[in-house]
Structures are given as C-alpha cells and as structure tokens.
C-alpha cells in the first residue's frame, strides 16, 4: 500500500513540475498551466471584469502552444452561457454562436482561420455559378481569421433571422442580405444552451487556487 502511495505521489510531483505555474481546482485538476518557456497549455479559464460600460465575462477552453484550440465557452459573470466559439491556430474558425443571458440565440458568425505559420494559405470556396462545385484559391495570410460564410442576426424574442450577411474571403456580398422578419413565434432555446442548463442545474461555480511553482 505504501509503495502504491509513493508511486502516486511521485507521479503527481513530476506532473506538476513540468509547469512554471498553474491553478488547482477543488477536485485536484490543474488548469491555467504555463510551461517553462511561458506557453499556455491545456484547460484554461479566463476572467474579464466590466470595462467602460462593457459587461465582464469568463471563458473556458483549451490552449496548445499558447494558442486557443477547439471549443471555447463564454459565460456572463453570473454564470450564464452567452457564447460558443471555435478556434484553430489561435484564431476563430467555423460557426461561432452567441446568446442572451436568457439563452436565446442572437448571433451566428462564420469564420475561417488561416495558418499563421504560412505566408500564404489555400481555401476551398463554392462556385456561385455551379451548385456543389468548389474551387481552390490561394490568399496572402494577413495573420488573422477572416469572415467567410453566412452571418445571421436573430430576434431573441421570436428566434427569427432579422438580417443575414454573406462573406467570401472577408468581403461582404451586398446582394445577399435577408429581409427583416416581422412574424412572431415561440422558439425553443438552442440545444447547446438546454444541455448546459440541464448539466449545471443547481451546481456551484468551480473554485480553484493558485499553484505557482516559481521560475
């Protein structure tokens, strides 16, 4: 029994030793890890206070080599899910969705991340004259994600799209705007919000403490 405990403690010490600093949750998991060369790794939780009238929020997700990766979730300071974003190479990628504090969908954005390690990148775009036909284009990398696809603005009360914008490689197509919807209807909350509320019903926010180990 003692030998098993010793091996477990040795493993734990070695695991923590690879990080310059980290935070420890109440369940013993590490997050907000920074390695020896100051790169963010693994699960992270970030907090932003209210600034100049803009509401504060928190976001939780994953870092790889100092870059955001995969799904990130945004919460109000009251703990409400207000956004789901996706990242690739530290840049927004795919469809990102934003909600009101009551869980109603209010905005969908479509992004395309460009590999920041390349001077040029390639994208597949649909041919407007040929259905389900795509062509490859090469574009200069400006070091940021570009708007690519449909952006939808919703009426939170009705759930209807009140405006849409079509972007191709960062350029807005002025002819692709949807008319304003006027008919009201009852709309269900997005499934991501329903799942979040069901999973977190009655739960308290996770507490954590600093685990800095020095330079």
Q: Domain map of the chain by residue range? A: 25-112+144-210
CA distances for 170 relative to 62, 139, 201, angstroms: 26, 11, 40
- Rounded (10°) CA dihedral 49, 50, 54, 58: 30
Contact 169, 123 (CB under 8 A): yes
Going by their DSSP bridges, the two strands 105-112 and 120-126 should be labelled as: unpaired
Contact 192, 85 (CB under 8 A): no
Rounded to whole angstroms, how far apart are CA atoms 28 and 184? 48
Contact 46, 58 (CB under 8 A): yes
Query: Which residues lie below 8 Å from residue 153, measured CB to CB, with a gap of 6+?
Result: 106, 107, 161, 162, 163, 164
- pLDDT at position 6 is 37
- The residue to which tokens 């197509």 are assigned: 173
Q: Is 167 helix (H, G, I), strand (E, B) or coil?
A: strand
Give long-range contacts, CB 8 A cutoff, 24+ apart: 124-132.
125/168, 125/169
Going by their DSSP bridges, the two strands 149-154 and 105-112 should be labelled as: antiparallel
- pLDDT at position 129 is 66
- pLDDT at position 202 is 61
The tens place of each residue's pLDDT in the chain, 215 residues long, gives 544 433 333 334 445 568 899 998 888 889 999 999 999 999 999 999 998 888 999 999 999 999 999 999 999 999 999 999 999 999 999 999 999 999 999 999 999 999 999 898 887 777 666 677 888 888 888 888 999 999 999 999 999 999 999 998 899 987 766 555 445 555 667 777 777 777 777 665 555 555 554 44
- pLDDT at position 13 is 43
Rounded to whole angstroms, how far apart are CA atoms 78 and 200? 13
Joined together, the tokens standing for residue 56 give 């504060």
């Amino acid at each position: 029994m003692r030998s098993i405990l010793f091996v477990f403690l040795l493993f734990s010490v070695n695991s923590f030793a690879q990080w310059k600093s980290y935070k420890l949750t109440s369940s013993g998991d590490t997050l907000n890890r920074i390695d020896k060369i100051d790169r963010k790794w693994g699960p992270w939780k970030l907090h932003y206070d209210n600034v100049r009238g803009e509401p504060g929020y928190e976001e939780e997700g994953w870092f790889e080599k100092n870059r955001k990766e995969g799904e990130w979730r945004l919460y109000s300071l009251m703990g409400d899910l207000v956004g789901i974003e996706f990242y690739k190479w530290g840049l927004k990628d795919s469809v990102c969705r934003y909600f009101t504090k009551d869980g109603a969908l209010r905005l969908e954005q479509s992004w395309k991340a460009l590999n920041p390690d390349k001077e040029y990148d390639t994208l597949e775009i649909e041919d407007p004259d040929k259905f389900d036909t795509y062509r490859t284009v090469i574009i200069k990398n400006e070091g940021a994600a570009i708007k690519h696809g449909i952006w939808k603005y919703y009426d939170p009360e009705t759930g209807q799209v009140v405006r849409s914008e079509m972007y191709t490689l960062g350029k807005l197509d002025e002819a692709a705007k949807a008319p304003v919807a006027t008919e009201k209807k009852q709309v269900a909350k997005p499934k991501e919000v329903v799942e979040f509320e069901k999973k977190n019903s009655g739960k308290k926010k996770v507490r954590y403490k600093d685990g800095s180990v020095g330079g």
